[in-house]
A = this chain, B = another copy of it.
Amino acid sequence: MTSSFHPPQRTLMGPGPSDVNPRILEAMSRPTIGHLDPLFVQMMDEMKGLLQYAFQTKNELTIPVSAPGSAGMETCFVNLVEPGDTVIICQNGVFGGRMKENVERCGATAIMVEDEWGTACDPAKLEAALKAHPEATTVAFVHAETSTGASTDVKTMCDLAHAHGCLTIVDAVTSLGGTELRVDDWGIDAIYSGTQKCLSCTPGLSPVSFSPAAVERIQNRKTKVQSWFLDLNLVMGYWGQGAKRAYHHTAPINALYALHEALVLLKEEGLENAWARHAKHHNALKAGLETLGLSFIVPEADRLPQLNSVSIPDGVDDAQVRGILLNDYNLEIGAGLGVMAGKVWRIGLMGYACRKDNVLTCVSALGEVLGRVGVDVDAKKAMAATLSAYGE
């Protein structure tokens, strides 16, 4: 007979899920209560405040969608886009492609603005597209491309979009809690993220936030939102203000306990401190990886600290190395995605996983394994470079 599943204790340094803080796992196992219980409703209100802090926004409609980041993305598109609309998507990786799928499945037209994978989205190209498509209503792009580790200048992009009368949809799945992100200051109208990256939480929920202009558009749609489950006009009735909540769907109670705890942890650390921590450990990891001869694919200026994409050395078997790391070190690093498959490793330093012990483990394990598969590396020197970056 099938028995209980007992997972091993991995170190998660891929593109997410990342290591979960034990306090969050413990919170998740607290007793389940009802989704309309007055104490649960009180926690929901706290959660909104904590999410507003994490997103740096005053947006009233700031909630977690009861499903993973992909559903958060879909929430933004199905609510803000109507059939016949034109949406400009700036793509520099896998997730821009997923945005296109979303737009087209809404019966709208996607105007694609392409940038090379591994670079930031180019505001000049966006501006040209906005001029060429005055009918566009919405601009969408990814802040932190999880497939490459490239960061885009959100504020400049949003300013351009607004100057042309468009609302903005921004993917912050990998940035929230890891690098600077300011929803209100930067003019983001709709944003979605995930819990399993820099928030150190288990996967399964998608924090989202909508500006007053976005809410106005949602409330004045000509057509119904095509998804009943993700229709914010209905979801708002459950996550709305005050004690009176209308049942929409049964909230994932224990997953929300976990997210609440993750957000409490973020507030305890302080957002700026969390951003600084990601930068600090990235610098040490970078020193080690580069000394091992691994080169970053993203230009330094556009590089995310929490997602480190490095080229796989010639002749090295991608899957073999990741397999050894997993089996011998319980260490997970990420494979390449899309056109990057087999060409890069994605090494995450996200949330609770972004720690000195993980950086040292990763550099030493990679040094040993690369040597084992025949790459000429100086593992000792790489470790010295890493420690030196920590000032040791």
- Residues on A facing B (Cβ under 8 Å): 1-10, 12, 14, 16-17, 19-20, 23, 25-35, 37-40, 43, 46, 49-50, 66-71, 73-74, 98, 101-102, 104-106, 194, 196, 202-204, 224-229, 247-255, 257-258, 260-261, 263-264, 267-268, 326, 332, 337
What residues of B have a CB within 8 angstroms of the CB of A104 in the complex?
A: 224
This protein's copies in its complex: 2
What residues of B have a CB within 8 angstroms of the CB of A38 in the complex?
A: 326
Further contacts, 13 of them, CB under 8 A, given A28-B254, A34-B332, A67-B229: A5-B43, A6-B30, A25-B30, A66-B67, A67-B71, A68-B229, A68-B251, A70-B248, A71-B229, A74-B227, A105-B224, A202-B254, A204-B254
What residues of B have a CB within 8 angstroms of the CB of A19 in the complex?
A: 32
Q: Which 6 A-B pairs have the closest CB atoms?
A: A204-B252, A67-B67, A29-B29, A70-B249, A202-B254, A25-B29
What residues of B have a CB within 8 angstroms of the CB of A2 in the complex?
A: 46, 49-50, 263-264, 267
Q: Are A7 and B30 in contact (CB under 8 A)?
A: yes
Contact of A268 among B1, B23, B35 (CB under 8 A): B1
Q: Are A228 and B33 in contact (CB under 8 A)?
A: no
Q: Are A10 and B25 in contact (CB under 8 A)?
A: no
Contact of A17 among B34, B68, B69 (CB under 8 A): B34
Q: Given A1-B267, A46-B2, do A66 and B204 touch, yes or no (CB 8 Å)?
A: yes
Query: A224 vs B101: C-alpha distance in the bound complex, in angstroms?
Result: 10
Query: A29 vs B23: C-alpha distance in the bound complex, in angstroms?
Result: 10
Q: Are A229 and B74 in contact (CB under 8 A)?
A: yes
Nearest-neighbor residue (CB-CB) of A77 within chain B: B228
Query: A249 vs B71: C-alpha distance in the bound complex, in angstroms?
Result: 9
Query: A172 vs B9: C-alpha distance in the bound complex, in angstroms?
Result: 36
Query: A194 vs B229: C-alpha distance in the bound complex, in angstroms?
Result: 14
Nearest-neighbor residue (CB-CB) of A196 within chain B: B250
What residues of B have a CB within 8 angstroms of the CB of A68 in the complex?
A: 66-67, 229, 249-252
**Which residue, A20, A40, A67, has most C-beta atoms of chain B within 10 A?**
A67
Q: Given A101-B228, A229-B70, do A254 and B25 touch, yes or no (CB 8 Å)?
A: yes
**Which residue, A2, A250, A258, has most C-beta atoms of chain B within 10 A?**
A250
Q: Are A32 and B20 in contact (CB under 8 A)?
A: yes
